Amino acid sequence: MPHDYANLFRLDGRHALVVGAGSGIGREAALALAAHGARVTCADRDLPAAEQTAALGNADRDTSDAQGNPTRGTSDAQGNAALTPYELNVLDPEAITTAAQTLDPVDILVFTAATNVRKRILDYTGEEFDRVVALNLRASFDLIRAFGKQMADRGRGSIIGFSSIRATTVEPGQSVYAATKAGLVQLLRTAAAELGPNGVRVNAIAPGVVETPLTAQIKANQPWYDAYAAKSALNRWATPDELAGAVVYLASDAASFVTGSVLHVDAGWTAIDGRFTPPT
């Protein structure tokens, strides 16, 4: 029988937890997952921001069901809100444990929360090091453990973490951030190896330069902003919504044989050698 390719990216009946859904890439990921039929918990330490994301996704929402028929409204087939806000501080391991125990079983876990301190190594403080590692790596570890276990117990699930081009290409001032993003890739790959036999897929997305609150410092400096734009093959920055397709893909059955992978969404940044175009 031919495969149902028309619905390959549909997520009907699945519950997605998006950590960092209050803004930027996390917000767009939550909206995109809901648009493809998932019920989404929008988790963020900033509850009003998570509420705004949920409101954006629920207000006058046009979607389609698994048969492609247009639907309109704020609920799934069981009457649940398509997007619901949830306050979560991932720096608190107990809060993560509580979320895993109290939320409905999670089929898709996406986490985007990260921080960066742009300083050269000799200027870095121990407190700054600990702060970046705590959010970028330790919190990811706690999320994978808490929700990976329940996925493994149920025999299915997709975990999607956000790495960065800085996991492979670095520049001065990015030492600890780059180290955490490289470490996250290996953490996710190991989780893919360990959880794969239980039907759980684990992958990383590595964005290039994206206009988010985390990169506001660069955007405010026009020469710096322009230099980054010129480095990519497309000569521009990404907007957060341009990462949403990668999230939907890895969450869906379209990626049923994809695990332990790093999907670069970087406009060719990591493929291009150097910053000089030789003369023809």
CA 265 – CA 208 distance, rounded (Å): 6
Whole-angstrom CA distances from 74 to 13, 34, 38, 208 are 15, 10, 12, 33
Domain spans of the chain?
5-271
Of 266, 211, 207, the closest CA to residue 234 belongs to 266
Q: Is 109 helix (H, G, I), strand (E, B) or coil?
A: strand
CA distance 280 to 267: 23
Rg (CA), the chain: 19
Q: Would you state the pLDDT for residue 1?
A: 67
Considering the entire predicted model, what is its pTM? 0.91
What are the 10-residue block averages of pLDDT along the chain, 280 residues in total?
A: 88 98 97 97 98 90 52 48 94 98 98 95 98 98 98 98 96 96 98 98 96 84 90 93 98 98 96 77
Instruction: List residues with catalytic annotation.
Output: 177
Q: Are strands 62-64 and 70-72 parallel, antiparallel or unpaired?
A: antiparallel
Query: CA torsion 178→182→184→185, rounded to 10°?
Result: 150
Q: For position 74, what pLDDT does the model report?
A: 44
SS3 146: helix
CB 175 within 8 A of CB 120: yes
For 5-271, give the CATH class: alpha beta
